[in-house]
Structure 1
Amino acid sequence: MTDLADLIKIDNQQPARSIHIVDADGFDAWLGGQPAPVRAVTAAQKFKGKPHEVAIIPAEGEEWAVAAGVADRQALGPWCLARAAETLPEGTYRLAEGSTGAAALGWLTAHYRFDRYRVEDKPVGPRVLLTGDVARIEQTVQIARAVALVRDLVNTPAADMGPPDLEAAAETIGKAFGASVTVTRGDALEQGYPMIHAVGKAADRAFAPRLVELSWGDPAHPRVALVGKGICFDSGGLDIKPSAGMRLMKKDMGGAAHALALAQLVMAARLPVRLHLLIAAAENAIGGNAFRPGDILRTRKGITVEIGNTDAEGRLVLGDALVRAGEEQPELIVDFATLTGAARVAVGPDLPALFANDESLAAEVAAAGAEVDDPTWRLPLWDGYADMLKSDVADINNAGEGGFAGAITAALFLKRFVPEGTPWLHLDTFAWRPAAKPGRPKGGEALGLRAVFRLLQQRYGRAP
């Protein structure tokens, strides 16, 4: 794919085709001011100024120009130019009037293609957008790169995206920004992080489980921990999934993908934080040494967990990683995980289910998500459901009986491993788009990433 930085350029009045922004409310007035050839062409293309409509129109002094429909021409959202970027011919474009603003992000993400395994596709020529918003270019490119990173990692099949590959991704990101990366595996993992080890021990040796940690920034700055669920493939373990449920389980490391991309954004923006990234990487495989329903696992925290279901493995690896994150006494912990189907039933594929143990923090991230059009939806950490995780033989069970409140009970399980008094956000994200939208193709997707990044920018003084 073309380097994203080459797709948005400073407008120095170089040659470019004009894009006229139109909305449905103002369409009649706009059309009335156009010459007869433009009116005829727009009618032939059935252009009405509705969101994501695009028409090629005659233009004085140009071979042709573009009319692009948006929801509100006075407030351009991130996806309003994405359809144009997907469909227009190769070339250079500028808005006929006004600022590109947030719309530049969708212009960039619309160029995304996952073509690692394609040999016959012809490359799509780039469409370059000129902008006068010079100060926003670098950050927009960085966000688009982070979104592309999530998509690439999630779209890659499990054979090429196992725990070693997540480790390699962390190494690459760390090297780019001078961060240090440490990895715990083997006997040290079994002794120090017994739940991560138990979940991943049945996998092939080449896909052995591990905890990957990245540290960056001035130790004197506020400590922020990002934790990602890195289950690179989830068979369900001995509580095996049906084939339909296994089809998309290459994406079960989507939480790790989000955490890696967010770490990249934090370091690229040079936010004044001491960053601690933790990726709990494992494959939940089936074998003679797989952990079993009814097993009792010890944890890094010291409490014991009865395994009610081996397909509730993500909360196990996150539990050990959250304890490790808390040992550094961060002022904020954020975890991302493709954790429960119950969250998808509750809020659908577009909205990450958000849990928080701090009311003001929850309000901040909700507002940040609304600001950048990356919404989340809060669900309650309802302590009354903690009884659903009771065990007769251990301190806690990893899966409640009855099927009620699955996303909430999973979050309550994680809460047991978060230090008391430490602000914590848990995003149960789908990391996948089941149907394409402008600028957002079907496949791996960043959901909640930009919301949390804006929250961090606002908290640590680098919000645009």
Structure 2
Amino acid sequence: MSLPAGFTDSADALPLYVVTRDTLAAWRSTQDATVNAWLDAQGFEGASFSTITLPAAGGGIAAAVIGVTDPLDPFSYGHAPFALPSRAWSLATDLPAEARAALQLGWGLGSYRFERYRTPLRAPAQLRIAQTEGDTLSQLAACVRVRDLVNTPTEHMGPDQLEQIACEIAERFGAHIEVIGGDDLLTQNFPAIHAVGRASHRAPRLIALRWGDPSHPHVAIVGKGVCFDTGGLDLKPADGMRNMKKDMGGAAHAIALAELVMAQRLPLRITLLVPAVENAVGPNAFRPGEVIATRAGLSVEIDNTDAEGRVILCDALTYAVEQKPELLLDFATLTGAARIALGPDLPALYSNDEAIAQRWLEAGVAQRDPLWRMPLWRPYLRYLASSIADIANGGPSKMAGSITAAVYLDRFVPPTQKWAHLDVYSWNDNDRPGRPAGGEAQGLRGAYALLKRHAGV
């Protein structure tokens, strides 16, 4: 078995102890006077994100201790791989299974560095794993998949590359893959996806992956795949455009979630849909004031070309509904307004089904993968009124930007379809323990727990 970065199966590993402020005293009572004197001299109190190595006779290292706050939170352990010396460590504390899983996941997340273009200055410390526990490493792989996809610049992660990755995943798991690209989007009635992506030298496309036993519950997963967002003719300022390689973060989440379901062979039938485009500037770019058609038959007036994500999603959601899934989930880096409301760490959840929303919220709490429910307040459709089309993709009001984006999508999902939409940031602005600056998976582990429950696992 090939282990991910930060893990080893080597027997040459030193003991690693995990403590909290509350358990430190009990652990110290099992140690000899020399160790306790060393802890006193160093002022070690078991605070969160703290580490200490214990000296061995002759000047070596005998063991290490890390302090955590919440043993069930993977990010509590995220500091350890680069705070400890780069060698093998073996857990010496008797943690419950859930805490051991959190340790493994957090260790892997803390070990992550994006290595495509440069070699890290040092290797992380390695945690010894005798055997995998549950599906923890598969969840880690899904989080790493999101980070890698989002971190990769658009020159190497455009619509073509998203298609290639989906094809590789399909081949690995025996899934069916279909790609509708370029002008075929028009002939097969995906006009909104085509309109947004037509100005790029890289053709827009809809990537569709299908997997699973037809007798199993059917779940559709949709991800916004805007591989770069200039804002279109409503051009973003430089600081707003700087990190727009991440505007395919929704697609990264959708791909990683589908891959995780397949890797763990959950008894589900999956339809993964990724509308993949680049919102570029060119002579044939879609323009403010134009009215475009959609697969649903609704006409959309383009108020702002920088509100393009909802435009490609409405075609993808319409197509997803046509597949008659029991449950429809979508992920999208849709609005800056969600970040203003909730900050970078809390994705905004919208749903037309109370039970689905509650289950995802509960899963997020249990997995320490939080999200916050926002109201799908349909009266705010008045902010998207158009005098010449059925709906506009934006409007002059600055009110409730995240909600209006969600109710725009809701207009393309019938009330009978159970649906949840997650507006994610997909990004860490700064380095934090376990969260290096760059791409980030948010709501993914909670969504996976939701799907496990839906599958009856």
Aligned to 2:146: 150
TM alignment of 1:76-87, pairs within 5 A:
76-87=72-83
The superposition leaves residues 80-110 of structure 1 with CA deviations (integer Å, 9 ceiling, x where unpaired) of 3221222222332222221323221011122
Q: Does 1:220 align with 2:215?
A: yes
Give the whole-Å Cα distance in 1 for the aligned partners of 2:92 and 2:216: 44
Q: Secondary structure at the match of 2:288?
A: coil
Q: Secondary structure at the match of 2:274?
A: strand
Which residue, out of 140, 160, 165, partners 2:161? 165
Give the whole-Å Cα distance in 1 for the aligned partners of 2:200 and 2:101: 47
- How far did residue 32 of structure 1 move? 5.6
Give the whole-Å Cα distance in 1 for the aligned partners of 2:369 and 2:325: 25
Give the whole-Å Cα distance in 2 for the aligned partners of 1:65 and 1:195: 59
What is the TM-score when the length of structure 2 is the normalising length?
Answer: 0.94
* Structure 1 vs Structure 2 CA RMSD: 2.0
More deviation, 81-90/312-321: 81-90
Which residue, out of 267, 270, 289, partners 1:272? 267
TM alignment of 1:257-336, pairs within 5 A:
257-336=252-331
- How far did residue 178 of structure 1 move? 0.7
TM alignment of 1:108-187, pairs within 5 A:
108-118=108-118, 121-122=120-121, 124=123, 127-130=126-129, 134=131, 136-137=133-134, 139-187=135-183
Contact 2:52 2:66 in 1 (8 A): yes
More deviation, 190-199/75-84: 75-84
Aligned-pair identity in percent equals: 50
Aligned to 2:107: 107
- How far did residue 415 of structure 1 move? 0.6
Q: Which runs of 4+ in 1 moved over 6 A?
A: none
Give the whole-Å Cα distance in 1 for the aligned partners of 2:107 and 2:6: 12
In structure 2, what residue type is equivalent to 1:281? A
The superposition leaves residues 324-363 of structure 1 with CA deviations (integer Å, 9 ceiling, x where unpaired) of 1111100110000000000000100001100000001110
Give the whole-Å Cα distance in 2 for the aligned partners of 1:229 and 1:130: 36
Which residue, out of 60, 64, 67, partners 2:65? 67
TM alignment of 1:392-407, pairs within 5 A:
392-407=387-402
Give the whole-Å Cα distance in 2 for the aligned partners of 1:164 and 1:443: 22
The superposition leaves residues 248-304 of structure 1 with CA deviations (integer Å, 9 ceiling, x where unpaired) of 100000000000000110101111111100000000001111100000000001110
Which residue, out of 369, 375, 378, partners 1:374? 369
Contact 2:15 2:92 in 1 (8 A): yes
- How far did residue 129 of structure 1 move? 2.6
Contact 1:400 1:409 in 2 (8 A): no
In structure 1, what residue type is equivalent to 2:414? P
Contact 1:199 1:282 in 2 (8 A): yes
Aligned to 2:195: 198
Give the whole-Å Cα distance in 2 for the aligned partners of 1:390 and 1:88: 57
Contact 1:37 1:58 in 2 (8 A): no
In structure 2, the CA distance between the partners of 1:329 and 1:251, relative to structure 1 (3 Å rule), is same
Contact 1:86 1:439 in 2 (8 A): no
Give the whole-Å Cα distance in 2 for the aligned partners of 1:281 and 1:96: 47
Q: Does 1:416 align with 2:411?
A: yes
Contact 1:195 1:320 in 2 (8 A): yes
Q: Secondary structure at the match of 2:133?
A: helix
- How far did residue 76 of structure 1 move? 3.6
Contact 2:84 2:125 in 1 (8 A): no
Q: Does 1:58 align with 2:55?
A: yes
TM alignment of 1:433-452, pairs within 5 A:
433-452=428-447
Contact 2:72 2:368 in 1 (8 A): no
The superposition leaves residues 411-462 of structure 1 with CA deviations (integer Å, 9 ceiling, x where unpaired) of 0000111133111010000000112222221110000111100000111022
In structure 2, what residue type is equivalent to 1:128? L
Give the whole-Å Cα distance in 1 for the aligned partners of 2:120 and 2:129: 27
The superposition leaves residues 13-45 of structure 1 with CA deviations (integer Å, 9 ceiling, x where unpaired) of x44211122211343454465434323432443
Which residue, out of 22, 26, 34, partners 1:25? 22
- How far did residue 121 of structure 1 move? 4.1
In structure 2, the CA distance between the partners of 1:126 and 1:34, relative to structure 1 (3 Å rule), is closer
What is the TM-score when the length of structure 1 is the normalising length?
Answer: 0.93
In structure 1, what residue type is equivalent to 2:182? G
In structure 2, what residue type is equivalent to 1:136? E
Give the whole-Å Cα distance in 1 for the aligned partners of 2:415 and 2:31: 64
- How far did residue 365 of structure 1 move? 0.3
Number of matched pairs: 450
Contact 1:266 1:453 in 2 (8 A): yes
In structure 1, what residue type is equivalent to 2:13? A
* Structure 2: 5+ residue stretches without partners: none
- How far did residue 122 of structure 1 move? 4.7
Contact 2:159 2:227 in 1 (8 A): yes
